[in-house]
Each structure stands twice: as C-alpha cells, then as structure tokens.
Amino acid sequence: QSEPRVTGLQLSGDEPIQIESDRLEVRDAEGIAIFTGNVNVVQGPTLLKSGKMTVYYATDGTAEPSAAGPDASRIERLEVDENVYVKTETQVATADKASFDMKTEVLVMTGKEVVLSDDGNVLVGCKLTVQMATGHALLDGCGQSEGAKGRVKMLLQPKSQSQ
C-alpha cells in the first residue's frame, strides 16, 4: 500500500460542471442520465474522460420528467466506465472504472492497472481511493486475492523530492 497525495481533484456540487458526449439518455423517473461516446467532464481544473458515464441523481420525489436532468446539488453518484482518465492541475490518473460519490466526496478508481502519475512519479496499483476533500489517497496493489497484500509499483524520478 502507499499513500500518495492527490491534490486538486475536486468534483463538487457548488461549481459549474460541463459534460460533453456523443449521446445522452435521461431516464428521469429513475433519476439516471447515461452519457456514452467520448464523454468529457470539466469542472474547474478537473477533467474527466471516458467512454461512458452514468449520473445518478435524486429525483425530488415527484417524478416530473426533466430533459435537462439535475442541477449539480441533486447529483448523488457518478459511475464512469470504459477507460477512465482523470486529470487535475498536477496529477493524472487512469483506470478501467471509477465511481465518485458526491456526498462523501470519495473517488474510487479500479482496474487491471490503475496508474497515478504526478510530475514524473508514477504509481501503479489496482485500486485508488481518493478523499477529494482532503486530497488524501490510498493506492492498493494488485493480487490481493493470494492473501498477501499486493505490491504497489512505484517509479520515482531521481530529481523530484518525495512528497
């Protein structure tokens, strides 16, 4: 396990979010908006790219259809699939899947290879859990199944100091 710092990764309800994609299906009664094809999410400095993203939002009880979907505060959770790429001011993370819980502000990225690179340092594991509010992150290695904790591969560039 290793505990890199992930800074600036901030997906919050109180900043405008812009989402682009090839297709969007809003199933308002179920409170789901499914973006597919070249999905691009921008909020402030944070950029998220993937093949698919599903937004789960609270329908305020009355099932009134709204084509435009939720305002930011009603978004509960984002599920991101098909090669996920997340970029903040200083770091880039890639994975197969990511899920982001807007309430707890925890981002979990999973995949055969979750890569977190920060100014030349590269960390590879299978699960990256980020507390967006604090930037505190936990990268778990792969191969948990054999009981032993999987090892995280870490490549530190000589010139950079450790965080």
Site residues for another protein per CB under 8 A: 13-29, 33, 35, 62-73, 75
For residues 51, 80, 18, 23, the Cα torsion angle rounded to the nearest 10 degrees is 40
Dist CA 57 CA 107 (whole Å):
17
Amino acid at 33: A
Helix (H, G, I), strand (E, B) or coil at 129: strand
Q: Which is nearer to another protein, 34 or 142 (CB)?
A: 34
| Residue 52: closest CA among 24, 94, 76, 28 | 24
Residue 1 C-beta: closest distance to another protein, Å: 34
| Residue 131: closest CA among 42, 14, 7 | 7
| Residue 128: closest CA among 88, 160, 156, 157 | 88
Residue 163 C-beta: closest distance to another protein, Å: 29
Q: Which is nearer to another protein, 17 or 128 (CB)?
A: 17
Q: Which is nearer to another protein, 66 or 157 (CB)?
A: 66
Burial 139-161 (b: 16+ CB within 10 A, else e): bbbbeeeeeeebebeeeeeeeee
Residue 80 C-beta: closest distance to another protein, Å: 15
Q: Which is nearer to another protein, 13 or 150 (CB)?
A: 13
Residue 27 C-beta: closest distance to another protein, Å: 5
Residue 58 C-beta: closest distance to another protein, Å: 12
Q: Which is nearer to another protein, 2 or 12 (CB)?
A: 12
